[in-house]
C-alpha cells in the first residue's frame, strides 16, 4: 500500500479545488458522509447513541460537523463540542457549522478546561468521534486540545478518528506530545505515513481508507516512496529459482560470527541462511570456539579464524578476504563480542568489502563511534539491522527519542550514510539511501526473544547471496521473518517462542508467499 505525506494529500485537495473547480464543501461533505457510513456500519449495535463529536477549529472539525448532522438524521443522539470560540471557525468548516446551528443540533463552544471537563461528564458518551486535528498537525498538542485528548483516552467509549488520531503527525507517525487512542480511523483518499509507521500506527486502531471524490486523472504523483507492505508487493520480490539449478547457482554466503558464550548466535545465523534458499553457507568463527560451532551446524560449513582470547583478531582479515573470493555476500556480527582490535577489523572490512554485506548485533556496536568508515567504503551494498538500543549507540540519540520518531530517524540515517537501514521493532522499517521506505506488517511479540535478530541476519545474508539487491533482500527477509513468527504462533502461541522455532517455518513462509496463501 502506497503511503503519502500530509503535504501530498493536501496538494491533492488543492488540485481538486483550485484546478478542477471541485468546491471544498463538496469534498468535506463527501468526507463526512463516508465517515458516517463507516461509523454507522461499525457501531450499529450502539444505535441510537449517545455520540460525542469533539471538533477542532479547522477542516477536521468541519468533517465532524458533517458527521454530527448525518448521524443525527439517522437517529443517533449526537452532541458536538467545539474546542474554541465560534468566531474562530472559518471557510468550509464555517459553512458546515452554520448548517448544524440552523438545524438546532446540540452544540457547545468550549474555551476553557473546566467547561470541557464538565461538558464531557454531562454527555457521558457511549461513542466518541475525534475531529480535533487532521493530518497537518506537526507541533506538540497543548492546553484545551491536550485536555480533550486526555479525556478521550481516559474514557471507556470506543473512539472513531476522522482522518488520523489527533496528535499523530501524518507525515512521520510521531506523536506530538500525546495523541488520541482510536479504535477505528477513517482516512481520506490514501493512507498516510503516520498511519503506517510507529508509534502513530498503534494509535490508529483499525484503518479504513475512504473515497471522498478527488479525481485521480491529472493530479501529481507522489513525491515520497513509502509502502506499507502487503503480500502482493512482497511476492514480486521473490527471486526466481531454476528448476535445474544446483547449489553452486544459488549463492554462497560467508557469516562472521561467534565468540565464547555466544556460539548460539553464530549457529542461528548460519542455519537461517541455509533456510533462506542459499546454496552454500560457511560460518567463519574464532578458532577458540570452532569445535563448538561444528557441532551446532549440520548443513552449513564452518572454518576457524585467527583470534585472541576467543575474539577475532586483525590477522583474520587476510583469511576473510581469501574466503570472500568465492562468496557472493557477507554477514557480520552475531555473537562476535567486543574489543578494540575487533572494532578495527570491522572498520577495515567495511571500507574494503568486495561483496554485499549485512551487519547486525555486535557488529553494529563495534561500528558505533567510527561511522565515518561508512562514508569511506566501497560502493558495494551495505545493510545495517539495529534494534532501537543499537540504533541509540549508532546515533547518540536515546531509545525514547528513536522510538518517538522512528520514520525520520531511519530515513535520515540511511540517506546520510548511504546504507539500507533496517530499524527493527513493531512495524520494522526498511529505509534506502534514496528515500524509499518499506514498513513491515508481519510479526508478533514472539520475536522479542534472544536470537531472533541473528535469524534475520542470516536470512538477509542468504538472500543477498542469491543475487537480490540490498533493499529488496532486506524487505523480503523482514517480511518472511515476521511471517515465520506468525506461523509459529499458530502452532504454539508467542510466549516461549524461541528463535530456533523460526527456522523450519522460514521456507514454509516463503512457499506460502510463492503460492499466494499467506
3-state per-residue secondary structure call for 162-201: ECCCCCECCCCCCECCCCCCCCEEEEECCCEHHHHCCCHH
Closest C-alpha among 373, 502, 485 to residue 428: 485
Taking all residues of the chain, what is their mean pLDDT, rounded to a whole number?
95
Environment class of 484 (CB within 10 Å of its CB; exposed 0-12, middle 13-18, buried 19+): buried
- The C-alpha cell that represents 153 in the structure block: 483516552
Residues 406-463: tens digit of each pLDDT:
999 999 999 999 999 999 999 999 999 999 999 999 999 999 999 999 999 999 999 9
**What pLDDT is recorded for position 503?**
98
**What pLDDT is recorded for position 380?**
84
List all residues 6 or more positions away from 154 whose beta carbon is below 8 Å from its beta carbon: none
Q: Are 198 and 168 in contact (CB under 8 A)?
A: no
CA 404, 406, 407, 413 dihedral sign is: positive
159: how many CB neighbours lie within 10 A of its CB? Answer: 23
For β-strands 311-312 and 307-308, DSSP reports them as antiparallel
Q: Are 265 and 258 in contact (CB under 8 A)?
A: yes
DSSP 197: S
**What pLDDT is recorded for position 290?**
97
Q: Pick out the chain residues at pLDDT < 50.
A: none
**What pLDDT is recorded for position 248?**
78
Domains of the chain, start order: 2-223 (3.40.50.10260), 231-235+249-513 (3.40.1190.20)
**What pLDDT is recorded for position 219?**
80
3-state per-residue secondary structure call for 125-141: CCEEEEECCCCCCCCCC
Could you give the CA distance from residue 417 to residue 231 in angstroms, rounded to a whole number? 30
Residues 75-92: tens digit of each pLDDT:
999 999 999 999 999 999
Three-state DSSP class for 11?
Answer: helix
Q: Are 173 and 199 in contact (CB under 8 A)?
A: yes
**What pLDDT is recorded for position 506?**
98
Amino acid at each position: 500500500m502506497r503511503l503519502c505525506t500530509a503535504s501530498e494529500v493536501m496538494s491533492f485537495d488543492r488540485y481538486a479545488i483550485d484546478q478542477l473547480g471541485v468546491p471544498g464543501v463538496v469534498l468535506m461533505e463527501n468526507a463526512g458522509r463516508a465517515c458516517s457510513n463507516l461509523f454507522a456500519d461499525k457501531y450499529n449495535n450502539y444505535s441510537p447513541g449517545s455520540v460525542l463529536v469533539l471538533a477542532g477549529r479547522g477542516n477536521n472539525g468541519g468533517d465532524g460537523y458533517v458527521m454530527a448532522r448525518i448521524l443525527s438524521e439517522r437517529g443517533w443522539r449526537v452532541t458536538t463540542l467545539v474546542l474554541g470560540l465560534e468566531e474562530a471557525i472559518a471557510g468550509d468548516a464555517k459553512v458546515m457549522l452554520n448548517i448544524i446551528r440552523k438545524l438546532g443540533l446540540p452544540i457547545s463552544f468550549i474555551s476553557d478546561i473546566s467547561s470541557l471537563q464538565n461538558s464531557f461528564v454531562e454527555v457521558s458518551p457511549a461513542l466518541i468521534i475525534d475531529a480535533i486535528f487532521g493530518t497537518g498537525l506537526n507541533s506538540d498538542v497543548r492546553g484545551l486540545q491536550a485536555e480533550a485528548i486526555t479525556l478521550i483516552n481516559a474514557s471507556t467509549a470506543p473512539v472513531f478518528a476522522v482522518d488520523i488520531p489527533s496528535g499523530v503527525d501524518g507525515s512521520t507517525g510521531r506523536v506530538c506530545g500525546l495523541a488520541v487512542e482510536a479504535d477505528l480511523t477513517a482516512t481520506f483518499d490514501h493512507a498516510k505515513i503516520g498511519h503506517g509507521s510507529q508509534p502513530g500506527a498503534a494509535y490508529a486502531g483499525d484503518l479504513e481508507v475512504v473515497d471522498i471524490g478527488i479525481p485521480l486523472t491529472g493530479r501529481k504523483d507522489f513525491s515520497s516512496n513509502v509502502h506499507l507492505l502487503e503480500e502482493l508487493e512482497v511476492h514480486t520480490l521473490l527471486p526466481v529459482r531454476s528448476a535445474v539449478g544446483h547449489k553452486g547457482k544459488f549463492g554462497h554466503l560467508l557469516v562472521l560470527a561467534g565468540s565464547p558464550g555466544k556460539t548460539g548466535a553464530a549457529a542461528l545465523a548460519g542455519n537461517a541462511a541455509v533456510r533462506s534458499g542459499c546454496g552454500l553457507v560457511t560460518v567463519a568463527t574464532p578458532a577458540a570456539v570452532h569445535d563448538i560451532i561444528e557441532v551446532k551446524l549440520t548443513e552449513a560449513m564452518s572454518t576457524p579464524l585467527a583470534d585472541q582470547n576467543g575474539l577475532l583478531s586483525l590477522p583474520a582479515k587476510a583469511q576473510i578476504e581469501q574466503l570472500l573470493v568465492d562468496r557472493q555476500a557477507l554477514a557480520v556480527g552475531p555473537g562476535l563480542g567486543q574489543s578494540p582490535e575487533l572494532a578495527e577489523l570491522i572498520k577495515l572490512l567495511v571500507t574494503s568489502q568486495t561483496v554485499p554485506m549485512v551487519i547486525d548485533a555486535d557488529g553494529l556496536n563495534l561500528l558505533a563511534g567510527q561511522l565515518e568508515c561508512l562514508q569511506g567504503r566501497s560502493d558495494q551494498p551495505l545493510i545495517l539491522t539495529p534494534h532501537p538500543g543499537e540504533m541509540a549507540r549508532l546515533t547518540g540519540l536515546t531509545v525514547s527519542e528513536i522510538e518517538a520518531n522512528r520514520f525520520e530517524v531511519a530515513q535520515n540515517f540511511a540517506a546520510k550514510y548511504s546504507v539500507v537501514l533496517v530499524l527493527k521493532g513493531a512495524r520494522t522499517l526498511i529505509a534506502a539511501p534514496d528515500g524509499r521506505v518499506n514498513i513491515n506488517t508481519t510479526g508478533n511479540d514472539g520475536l522479542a526473544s534472544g536470537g531472533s535478530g541473528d535469524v534475520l541476519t542470516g536470512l538477509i545474508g542468504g538472500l543477498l547471496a542469491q543475487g537480490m539487491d540490498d533493499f529488496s533482500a532486506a524487505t523480503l527477509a523482514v517480511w518472511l521473518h515476521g511471517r515465520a513468527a506468525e506461523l509459529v504462533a499458530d502452532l504454539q502461541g508467542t510466549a516461549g517462542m524461541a528463535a530456533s522455532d523460526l527456522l523450519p517455518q522460514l521456507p514454509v513462509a516463503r512457499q506460502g508467499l510463492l503460492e499466494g496463501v499467506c
